[in-house]
Amino acid sequence: MIYVSRLEHFNAAHKLHNPNWSLAKNKEVFGPCANVNWHGHNYELIVTVKGKPDPETGFVIDLKKLSTLIRKHIIEKVDHKNLNLDVPFMEDKLASTENLVMEFWKILEPRIAEISKARLHSLKLYETPRNYVEYFGE
């Protein structure tokens, strides 16, 4: 089994805000991430697929096709957007890195299966250069 990865990036604004809590509690729990007037991140998304190389191409997956797919279905939906207001698949969800990566998985997994025999293995999403989450679909 070979693991092949593609890095994409996007910039987005958000705030961490639980609507069931008061503003004071949101500030207490989320600190500056609860700032009512938003803040932004330069996100980095690493998509890893696994499979066997095709004997005719040597590819597990054509990375150009993988990039096009990620950009069309994820990056175009979130880049330069407000994750709390502009992104339908984040509606009614806390805009945490964990929730984002789980929604990305639901979108990407079936679409990768449509273009390749390779399967989605993991998503790694950096919110800052020091904070990231990794998801394996379970």
- Under the rule (CB under 6 A), what is the footprint of ligand LPXRUNBV? 16, 33, 96-98, 127-128, 130-131
d(CA 135, CA 104): 10
Q: Which H/E stretch holds residue 132?
A: strand 132-135
39 is catalytic: no
Which DSSP string do the residues of 24-62 spell out, in sequence order? HHHHHHHGGGG-TT-EEEEEEEEEEEEE---TTT--SS-
Our CB check for ligand LPXRUNBV shows the closer of 39 and 72 to be 39
Residue 137 near residue 110, CB atoms below 8 Å: no
33 is catalytic: yes
Q: CB 96 → ligand LPXRUNBV: shortest distance, Å?
A: 4
Catalytic-role residue among 9, 28, 76, 80: 80
> Which 3 state secondary structure label does DSSP give 5?
strand
Q: CB 100 → ligand LPXRUNBV: shortest distance, Å?
A: 8
Q: CB 42 → ligand LPXRUNBV: shortest distance, Å?
A: 10
The catalytic residue positions are 33, 80, 127
